[in-house]
Amino acid sequence: MRRQGIALIAVLVVAAVMTLVGGILFMGTVGDLRQTRHTLQTAQARAAAEAGLTYARYAMEAARPAIKSLIAPKMNLSANPATEWILPEAEWGSIAAGIQAILNSNYGTLPSGAIDQGGASVSYVVTRFRGHVRARDSQSYLADYVVISTGTSGTGSAGGVRRVEEKGVFEVQLGRPSLSQWLFLVNDAGGTGGFFPTGSVFNGPVHANHNWGFWGRPVFKDVISTSDDGAWYWHLSGDGCTGSSRVWVRGDSRPPCTVPDFQKGFLRSQPVIPLPTSSLSQQRAALGMDPSNTSAPTAKEICFALRLHNPPTKNCNSNPSVPDGVYLVNDGIQVKGGIYVQGNLNELVVEATGTGQQIYRFTQGSNTWVITVDYISGTTTVLKNGNPQGAYTGVPNGPAPLGTGGPTGQIYVTGTIASLRGPGRTGPLPCGTDYPGSSDLCPDHPPPGQIRPALSKETQLHITAVGKIGLTGDLVYECDPTKATDPTYLAGKPRCALGAGEKLSTVLGVMSQTDNIEIENSPIKAPDNLYLWGSYLSGSPGKGFTVENYSGRGKQGKLRLFGGLIQSTDQLRGTINPSGALTSGYMETYDYDLRFADSALAPPNFPTVTIFDVQKILPTPLSFREF
């Protein structure tokens, strides 16, 4: 019995020890699991915090429209930007506080779904806003920033929390942007006499100083703004609204009849954007002179620049008059400017060969000049009525060098251009004239193959006329900027393929100094479903982009404008019935050339606005720590 009792006690002791060891092992395993879980959640929290910093850098750039609205009223527009700060020093403290408030109010939490595991909150401190660089057409300012991003993962005491801090400097760049940076810019949008209806589509920045008018559901895919406190909202018979045909609304809609699709907001009471109308700098550019000198060249200067001085036959000192004609500005050997036209033009045809040559065909009365720009050989030749007039090294292309002048893609006409067009179409397009309906059968990009290109891949051109410019045909590029990386498109257009680091620079500007740019009806009628690429400017008071006999020419499908339109007064370009169907003229679609954003690309010697704008905000991180 004693032995059995001892054995039983031994078994119990062993069992107790095993239980104790098992418990210890179990507790260790649970602890290890908890530690592993905590480590994982801490790592997730750290990743979330770092994602918050990335978001903060994005936020500083994305807040540009709000920062622009903050800064614009504080600008001293009478200051000399080369010697004085456009943003007065007395405002620097309030600007820093305002930027800090904008960031904390609008960008303190990451968007839903931005982080798979956990979340993050961000706080901003902005101090020491100060001047950095002054110049004639631009200024930059610096501010110090501190961003603290708090990342979390899990819940309760077991959750992870990590904080990271970034200190840096961000630069606010101000400049006078090219007018071409807008998809649509107008002083008077004409809303008292017409409207943008359902079917109108804008996919870039648009601004009207005054008198927007809407009906139905026009689509604005980017920011739309006005200097007024509201806009005209129309209604037509049977559209569900009652009351006056147009009502001034200090808001975004007039339901149920007029509810525009403002996808990025409708900003009201914004600063007025004055439209410069002078083309004098374009004249000097074409003559090979300094385009930044906006004084009018004298008759003697023009005479000498065109190499007309040839005593005793012609003496520019005593008789500086310039005969009508087309002049390639040169020194007898090299191209030294652009193309200068004295008098009116019956027609200007712009044609790309597709093999690296650009052809300009000018008709004035009974005379025809053909100027061929060969980008492959770097030469330019001139024919008049089929007879050689000269061959020169260099090409008239691109912007004129500031301060000196030089070869430039500037055509300057002292009179009018009755007909401006590309080389024409090879056949009818695969779309009709009904809207809604058959006009939609043609794509926006690339244009139908029947439309021959006007501008060669290399061409950067600005056509300026003192008087009216009539449009009678398509104006498109050899290479579609929206397809520059599309393998299928490039397979059929190998010349459009870009090398490493190369950017497509083709661009067109068309500007009338004192009159309208008009889509013609007679004697030459512009075609149905018209494609116009480039930036078009008619800024003289009361002038704009018109369609001749818009209400009686018959329906012509869509006007597809790719680039931008700048006018003093918007004009009617078509008519619709109460159901929104096109009855005459064109239905308009406005497609933004993204290369124009922030004036990264502009037609040569194109006018800029007179006021300063926030061009870029560039954050630069300087230090990082985790705590």
What is the full DSSP assignment across 253-271?
-BTTTB--EETT-EE-SPP
Query: The dihedral of CA 595, 596, 601, 602: what is its sign?
Result: positive
Alpha carbon 531 to chain centroid distance?
18
Q: Name residues whose C-beta falls within 8 Å of residue 176's C-beta, 6 or more positions apart in sequence.
A: 137, 138, 608, 609, 610, 611, 612, 613
Q: Which two tokens stand for residue 35?
A: 């530690």
Task: Give the per-residue pLDDT at 32.
Answer: 47
Closest CA to 327 of 274, 277, 384: 384
Task: Give the per-residue pLDDT at 267.
Answer: 95
Whole-number Å distance between alpha carbons of 392 and 336: 10
Give the count of beta carbons closer than 10 Å to the beta carbon of residue 313.
Answer: 7
Give me the helices (H) in 516-570, please.
Answer: none
Is pLDDT above 50 for 405?
yes
Task: Give the per-residue pLDDT at 274.
Answer: 84
- The mean-pLDDT minimum among 16-30, 338-352, 442-456, 468-482 falls in 16-30
Overall average pLDDT of the 585-607 stretch? 92
If you average pLDDT over each of 33-42, 116-125, 200-209, which comes out highest?
200-209
Is pLDDT above 90 for 34?
no
Task: Give the per-residue pLDDT at 46.
Answer: 85
Is pLDDT above 50 for 25?
no
Q: Answer with the residue of higher pLDDT: 27 or 616.
A: 616
- The mean-pLDDT minimum among 79-93, 298-312, 550-564 falls in 79-93
Give the count of beta carbons closer than 10 Å to the beta carbon of residue 116.
Answer: 9
Is pLDDT above 90 for 137?
no
Is pLDDT above 60 for 27?
no
Whole-number Å distance between alpha carbons of 130 and 89: 8
* Sheet with 246-249, side-by-side order of all strands: 213-214, 231-234, 246-249
Instruction: Give pTM, 2 decimals.
Output: 0.80
Residue 418 — φ and ψ, nearest 5°? Answer: -70, -35
Q: Answer with the residue of higher pLDDT: 544 or 175.
A: 544
* Angle, alpha carbons 519-369-376 (nearest 5°): 95
Whole-number Å distance between alpha carbons of 254 and 237: 15
Whole-number Å distance between alpha carbons of 496 and 456: 10
| Three state DSSP letters for 512-523 | ECCCCEEECCCC
Whole-number Å distance between alpha carbons of 466 and 464: 7
Helix (H) or strand (E) holding 99: helix 92-106
Is pLDDT above 70 for 6?
no
Task: Give the per-residue pLDDT at 81.
Answer: 86
Overall average pLDDT of the 431-445 stretch? 97
